[in-house]
Structure 1
Amino acid sequence: MDPYAMTTGVLRNPDFLRFLTSHVGNELGANISRVALPLVAVVTLHAQPAQVALLSALQTAAFLVLGLPAGVWVDRMRRRRVMMVTDLARFVLLASIPLAAHLGLLSIGMMFAVAFLAGAAQVFNDVADQTYLPSLVSTRQLSDGNSKLEVVRSGSFLAGPGIGGLLVQLVGAPFTMFATALGSLTSALFLSTIKTPDKPPAANEPEPLLRGIGVGLRHVWRDRLLRMFAASSVLTNLTVGAVLGLSVLFLADEVGLAPGLIGVLLMSGGFGGVTAGLLGALLARKVGTARITWLSLTVPAPFALLLPMTQADWRVAFFAVTSIALSWSAALSTVGQITYRQTTVPEQLLGRVNASFRSLMWSSVPLGALLGGIVAQQFGVRTALWVFMIGRVVSFVPLLFSPLPRLRDFDDVQARS
């Protein structure tokens, strides 16, 4: 690591800037594909609703199937190399869609395969990504670096679908997928320019896959704060899954809003994430990395109760206020939790621990969506939102039984072994 980068702001670290720019390409491309991929299926292939739903599910199915094994394998490899290889794999996979469409060879079966394989590449990319940052910046800069990355993620979430919709209108859905592919290629190119050496994995004898997965899960369980972070995150994502699954139905049928306004409300949460990313480093310095993580989980929580009160009058703002507040909360707490893991987890275990968290969080979202649908079917959509928003308010309770409320900074915890 460059000694100069340890004593200056994270944006003065040239390698971090290259890493950040790689995220711009990757995240923006991924969010453009949120619009373009289903539109290719609908407009070009005239897919049925069940096929479109399956296509959407296949994009995230790899997180459930490969999430835990990915952590073991990433810990055995050079992290930057993993990101570059998976970026290039996504480029080839996504670019194959416009090529096949041009040649008249595109089929829904091919779309299913590309969606799953590109999702699998993204699983490895994400695990390596969260594991790689400590190689580029000093421990004191981790919170700042994670905050800057969160700005990119939230900004891309906001801008990507709009850019995707415009590109679909201008050049058609299949060739919009080429813009998504170029995002992955751009990411790989910027990663290749990073000067900091890509650390080799520890020269230990590779352990069996299941034992490696167990080591990561046991580390999460034995660390009291990690265990409670995991419990709180699972509860939070259960409620998020339910609300995401019911939001369009709620706004369209219960509240009676026009599609354009529904789109604006669903995007509003991105502003909270961008704001949190911009202010995250400043708040962490002023308040403390641990304390701001705690406050970000507790202070915005009551805003969740506004969402079920949304109506087709001035109270339509309740949905936007809730979305912004909870997205701000999620972004800041995510930065804090990632920073804690990067600060305290031994480097040789970090991939497995990050993968364990991602698997727990991703598995709870579809479960929440299923539970939300069951409750809404039995008691109505608005009642279901009350149930899950109350759950969101109390999702921080497991952390009351952790050291977090008594800490100011994560540096107060025992340093990485």
Structure 2
Amino acid sequence: MGDTVSVFGMQFVGFALPLVAIKVLHADELQMGILAALETLAFLLIGLPAGAWVDRWRKKRVIVLGDLSRATLLLTIPLAFLAGVLSMWMLYVVAFAVGCITVFFDVANQSYLPEIVEGEQISEGNSKLQASQQTAFVAGPAAASALVRLIGGPFTIAVTAACMALSSLFVSRIRHVEERPSAVDRPPLLVQIREGLSFVLGHDLLRRIVMCTGIGNFANSAASALYFLYALRVLGLTEVSLGVLMSVAGVGGLVGAVGADRFARTVGEGRAIPVAGLAIALTSFAWPLASMLPPLPVLFIGGFILSWAVVTYNVVQVSFRQRLCPKPLLGRMNASIRFLVWGPMPIGAFIGGFLGRELGILPTLWLMCGVALLASVPVVFSPLIRMRELPTHLDALSGSMEEESVDEARPERS
């Protein structure tokens, strides 16, 4: 429940913050790119040490304090608006600060699930977690668009702060007793960071997943920095239609969350990753195509399939790496992957904003669709496409890749 409420709140701020920049502060393409870049810049700057630090702390405490801190920061936006001092620079500072806290929050949140469920239940747990999050993705944008029209963008962000505070209350009431991480023989911080990176980069399948996700996130961030400007100024959509569009996409994600396990069993757990990865790349073309075709039908269908593919991809590959990783290394592993796959996002967002101003919004979207297609190559042309099952332990992953272990990485029989 706490995670759902928190995600619901983030849907509000994700919808309202760009609208505040565009409608209240009249931001241009480059300013929107900078704002989007600052939201994820922290993953590039502190993503690696965050994992080592989180492994030293109780995950539940990090999650609770993270929600409370983000709520406090976001509350400054409506207060500044009331005082008449709201500016783009203030949005930049709040976006960056919230992003820094989100680094720790996300690493702890993703590392907490294996603490409270058994190994064989991790995939089911991730599906349920994704389903609850996608419920927020379905209802959040539509509710946010209605709130923006009713009370305005700045005060919609105040509702986000309330959601964060409520989320922290729910999480604090979880009864699971988390053991305090041992400080005995703890290696230095740089050694711990290197351990996390070595685990991720030391295995072929994880490297391919990281390459696909990192390049895809670069392209998506570059395009996403321009989405609100494109929808409102180029396609002529209203805030309400944009909110409904995002909610329809959330339905696709909910279908993906509920059906990810069944889809993986049907096509093969290994093959599900490249199939979903390719679907993400192909459906990204829906946004620029909407300028040539009736926009709402194209974006409804494209957004639904895209969200289904993203969630399916995430459930399968996140469950794979959580099963594979030793528990003491989970925080560092998750942080290393977040650094590698989220690190390109602020760079992509800034480049997207810059190219949007210099080349135009539509040419930039077409260019990023090509990059998204390139992102699928590492997993489409890989051993994953032949794997019925994914490895469940390190020996099968590192020692049997060439021969594809019959027990752990069995290819589908033809």
- Alignment match, 1:214: 194
- How does 1:187-336 map onto structure 2 within 5 Å? 187-248=167-228, 256-259=235-238, 261=241, 264-265=244-245, 268-298=248-278, 301-305=281-285, 307-311=287-291, 313-314=293-294, 317-336=297-316
Give the drift of 1:55: 5.3
Alpha-carbon distance, 1:185 to partner: 2.0
2:319 to 335, 339, 346: 339
> What are the equivalent positions in structure 2 for 1:112-191 lying under 5 Å apart?
112-171=92-151, 173-191=153-171
> Secondary structure of 1:410's partner?
coil
The equivalent residue for 1:10 is none
Change beyond 3 A, Cα 1:315–1:148: same
- Post-superposition offset of 1:378: 7.3
Distance 1:35 1:314 in 2: 23
Asked whether the equivalents of residues 97 and 106 of structure 1 are also in contact (C-alpha less than 8 Å), the reply is no
Between the aligned partners of 2:103 and 2:269, the Cα distance in structure 1 is 27
Summarize the alignment of residues 360-399 of structure 1 with structure 2, pairs less than 5 Å apart.
360-372=340-352, 382-399=362-379
* Alpha-carbon distance in 2 for matches of 1:305, 1:55: 24
Match of 2:65 in 1: 85
* Distance across 1 between alignment mates of 2:152 and 2:279: 44
Normalised TM-score (structure 2): 0.80
The 1:38/1:250 distance shift into structure 2, 3 A limit, reads closer
> Partner letter of residue 89 of structure 1?
S
Q: For residues 356 and 288 of structure 1, what CA distance do their matches in structure 2 show?
A: 27
Distance 1:60 1:313, change over 3 A: closer
Matches within 5 A, 1:24-103: 24-37=4-17, 47=25, 49=27, 53=32, 57-95=37-75, 97=77
CA contact (8 A) 2:5 2:136 kept: no
Whole-angstrom CA distance in 2 between matches of 1:182 and 1:304: 33
Which runs of no fewer than 5 residues in structure 2 stay unpaired?
A: 398-414
Distance 1:412 1:25, change over 3 A: closer
The Cα offsets for residues 136-157 of structure 1, whole Å up to 9 and x where unpaired, read as: 1122221222122222333323
- How far is 1:201 from its partner? 1.7
Shift of the 376–81 alpha-carbon distance from structure 1 to 2, 3 Å rule, reads: closer
Change (3 A) 1:132 1:359: same
Which residue in the other structure is 1:404 paired with?
A: 384
C-alpha change, 1:323 and 1:396, in structure 2 (3 Å) is same
Give the direction of change, closer, same or farther, for the CA distance of 1:346–1:416 in structure 2 (3 Å limit).
Answer: farther
Closer/same/farther in 2, CA of residues 251 and 194 from structure 1, 3 Å limit: closer
Contact 2:277 2:310 in 1 (8 A): yes
Asked if 1:23 is matched to 2:3, the reply is: yes
Partner Cα separation in structure 2 for residue 52 and residue 258 of structure 1: 21
Given that 1:305 and 1:386 are in contact with CA atoms closer than 8 Å, whether structure 2 keeps it comes out as yes
1:285-333: CA deviation from partner (whole Å, max 9, x where unpaired): 4444333233322356444455544345547533433332222211111
CA distance in 1, matches of 2:255, 2:326: 31
Residue pair 2:252, 2:306 contacting (<8 A) in 1 also: yes
The alpha-carbon distance between structure 1 residues 383 and 127, as it changes in their structure 2 partners (threshold 3 A), is same
Change in 2 beyond 3 A, CA 1:264/1:36: closer
Say how many residue pairs are matched. 393
Distance, in Å, in 2 between the alignment partners of 1:252 and 1:389 is: 20
C-alpha distance 62-268 of structure 1, shift in aligned 2 (>3 A): same
User: Would the alpha carbon gap of residues 315 and 37 (structure 1) be closer, same or farther in structure 2, given more than 3 Å must change?
Assistant: closer
> What residue identity is the alignment partner of 2:212?
S
- TM-score w.r.t. structure 1 length? 0.80
